[in-house]
Amino acid sequence: MRAAGRTVRTEVWGRLAAADPGLLRFTAGLRTVVSIGLTLAVLTVLRADVSHLVAGAITAMVATFAIREKQRPQQAGTLALGLPVALASVSLGALLDQRVVLGDLFFVALIFCAVYGRRFGDRGTALGLIGFQIYFVSLFVHATVAALPGLYLAITVAFGCAAVARFLLVRQTPTGILDRLRRAFRARFAQLVSAQVELLDAGPDELDKAVEEVRVRTARLHETALLIQGRLADGTSDEGVARLVQRRIADAEIAAERLGLLLLTARSARRADTLTLHLPGAALPAAAREPVRDESMERLRLDLEALRVLVLRPAGPESGTALAQLRNRLLGYREEDALPPASPAVQDVFRGIGETARAVLGLRIAMDGPQDESDDTPATSRSREELDAEDAAIEGAEESEPEPEEATGLRRPTTRAAVQVAVGSALAIVGGEFLSAQRWYWAVLTCWIVFINTASTGEILVKGYRRLLGTVLGVVAGIVLAGLVGHHTWTAFALVLLFVFAMFYSAPLSYTLMSFFVTAMLGLLYTLLNTYSLDVLVLRVEETALGAVCGVIAAAVVLPVHTGRRTDELLATTLDRLADVTRAAADQLGGAPPVDLVEKARELDQALADLRAATEPLTHPIAPLRSRRDTARYVVALLETCAYHARSLAATAELLPTHPAIAADPRLRGAGRRIVHNIEAIAAQVAGRQPVPHIETGSSIAAMLEPGTLRAPRYGRVTDRVLRHLQRLDEAVVGLARPLKVPVARRTP
């Protein structure tokens, strides 16, 4: 019974960890709810009236979510500085309440300063957010000078409760976050392996769905890897350990994605295209429609299930020898004589399982420390020796990161955004006053919000559309809830807490859903303040639409950054990063001195993530130009394909000093030159640099290399893999030329 209970708990934890990596959303929602609940409890004991309860609740929410630093001392410092900022903001709001013109001018200046403060990092962003939101609170509760003592008390209590919630009740440390992210990586890794089993078994009618599930879970695994990379510096005290974990995460991700491609190839008459796992709806080979049913495929299925167990099962005394035997069997597939009789494509899958098991072993050692070696087979011992040698090489490597060139003046993003938001807010104030002299600030709030975390006109338009849609749906919910709750104060506050949690939990997933919960919550707050009516909620929709329109107008007219320009800049950056990784990997495979390839690959991944986010306005369903939408999706999918092959080349190149099956080959450096030239030619076209070189095509990468002298089977496999990645990368880069309109010149060998 106890074992069954542990299994259920492990399964539930695995699902939760995979759905919310690091429990970041859950913790954010829980901490905010605890902060608000504690504030309401303290203010109730102090016999505060409803308006002060509302002000305290909103302040507690702001004081909780505004703090973004990762280290606790910095968080405490920002929270301490935020209190006087909040008190000053509410005081000015009360003093300027009856001075309409002066109050509006101050509000615009405050908005400019709040946005401009982002250039000073997380603390500047937090203090600007606190100043703006608390001024909004003063407008929301109609603060007056006479009410200031009560508001001071409510705000002070809210900040104190936010500190108690953050540092005592819902504690979160960088080390703890990183540990939970590691568990989430394992959980998503196991989910990907489960999807690969389903791909193996899928019938003709299920294949498209199975491939899509593998694609989605591969993307989620990559997302978790990026989250871990972003937290390593703060979550580990030793830089060498951080680099080791980063390398092992990259190895596991590459091995898992490669295993999916090998499985799809095993079901097809020809080698699967990497683009299949990156482009939704990509065509599949006709021969892949029917699953193969034979003894080797049945064994393959069992080994994939065993790999899933190996990924999920924690190492330790409770695991016993069964897990060690399972691990030894899978690692044995790295040896030629241990492969079962099967077709070459299926044997490649068994090799892929062996390499993935090795990546899992490296992941365990990096995350959990030394493992029990008493049950090791010779194949497992060799894998450990390889990992130990790689660890030593990683610890001795030096990391160098160039300083990015910072823009100045109005070219600086924070300055430009501050000017745009100030202009948009001024328009929103004027328009909002025409709609309502009492609640014009809703238009300003929407204008402010649509500029947060956006960088182009298209992003602002999409965000404004989502906020308006969520607001309309929230108004409907607010009408229903106001009728049900009436004036039951504590029932309304309980629902407010529920909506606050849902708001923070859903925020990274859906901005529309978050806006829905915000508007429904505001309907309840209006009910508590005895200002609820259908006209008020309809006005809320009108003010939201006005604020979104003002934001779009300001973004389009004042120092505009058009979506095309933004995506071109990020595309050029991504191509530059891709060229850096490819050049460095090919040079190192050709015998050049080693460089920090893992860090270069991480920079490529981050640039690609930024590009993917920036193209969302082009790929959104409301985008009017269908051909442009399809082109954007295709280009991003091709770049994801390129990034996978570049990461794989980088990972292989880093094994050169330690891996017995890999030797430098000077010809590989020359083979990579054509790819790098083509990437740079495309980057020149995108960036508008002149003259634009032609894309060079010709014989395949494999044909460019004369037969080598390394005849051993292990050398042959690794060389074949390197050439395959180079060939696929070459094809994907040439494929980018057509949608990006780069001239192609055929070069004969």
Per the model's pLDDT, the better-predicted residue between 529 and 503 turns out to be 503
Tell whether the model's pLDDT for residue 506 goes beyond 90. no
Residues 6+ apart with CB under 8 A from 728: 274, 641, 645
Mean pLDDT throughout 283-298?
Answer: 65
Look at residue 625 in the predicted model and tell me its pLDDT: 65
Per the model's pLDDT, the better-predicted residue between 10 and 481 turns out to be 481
Tell whether the model's pLDDT for residue 68 goes beyond 60. yes
Mean pLDDT throughout 613-624?
Answer: 75
Look at residue 599 in the predicted model and tell me its pLDDT: 81
Query: Which of these ranges, 55-64, 205-214, 449-458, has the smallest mean pLDDT?
Result: 449-458
pLDDT tens digits for 34-53? Answer: 999 999 999 999 988 888 98
Q: How far apart (Å, rounded) are the C-alpha atoms in residues 674 and 723?
A: 14
pLDDT tens digits for 122-177? Answer: 899 999 999 999 998 998 888 889 899 999 999 999 999 999 999 999 988 888 88
Look at residue 14 in the predicted model and tell me its pLDDT: 60
Residue 710 pLDDT grade (very low, low, confident, very high; cuts 50, 70, 90): very low
Give the position of tokens 């089977």.
Answer: 713
Contact 299, 200 (CB under 8 A): no
Contact 561, 414 (CB under 8 A): no
pLDDT tens digits for 372-427? Answer: 666 777 877 777 777 777 666 665 554 444 444 555 556 677 788 888 889 989 99
Look at residue 688 in the predicted model and tell me its pLDDT: 77
Look at residue 708 in the predicted model and tell me its pLDDT: 47
Tell whether the model's pLDDT for residue 318 goes beyond 50. no
Tell whether the model's pLDDT for residue 709 goes beyond 70. no
Look at residue 713 in the predicted model and tell me its pLDDT: 36
Tell whether the model's pLDDT for residue 748 goes beyond 70. no
Look at residue 731 in the predicted model and tell me its pLDDT: 86
Pure H helices in 369-485 = 378-396, 413-435, 441-451, 457-485
CA atoms within 13 A on the CB side of 400: 5
Contact 470, 9 (CB under 8 A): no
Q: How far apart (Å, rounded) are the C-alpha atoms in residues 341 and 330?
A: 15
**Tokens of residue 45, six digits:** 């004991």
Q: For strand 744-746 and strand 695-697, is the pairing parallel, antiparallel, or unpaired?
A: parallel
Look at residue 716 in the predicted model and tell me its pLDDT: 47
Q: How far apart (Å, rounded) are the C-alpha atoms in residues 402 and 411?
A: 21
Residue 360 Cα distances to 366, 405, 494, angstroms: 10, 39, 45
Mean pLDDT throughout 706-712?
Answer: 43
Tell whether the model's pLDDT for residue 658 goes beyond 70. no
Mean pLDDT throughout 333-357?
Answer: 83
Look at residue 400 in the predicted model and tell me its pLDDT: 46
Burial 668-700 (b: 16+ CB within 10 A, else e): bbebbbbbbbbbbbbbbbbbeeeebbbbbbeee
Contact 735, 640 (CB under 8 A): no
pLDDT tens digits for 673-697? Answer: 888 888 988 988 888 777 767 777 7
Residue 426, beta-bridge partner list: none
**Tokens of residue 407, six digits:** 């823009």
What is the average pLDDT value for the chain, to the nearest integer? 81
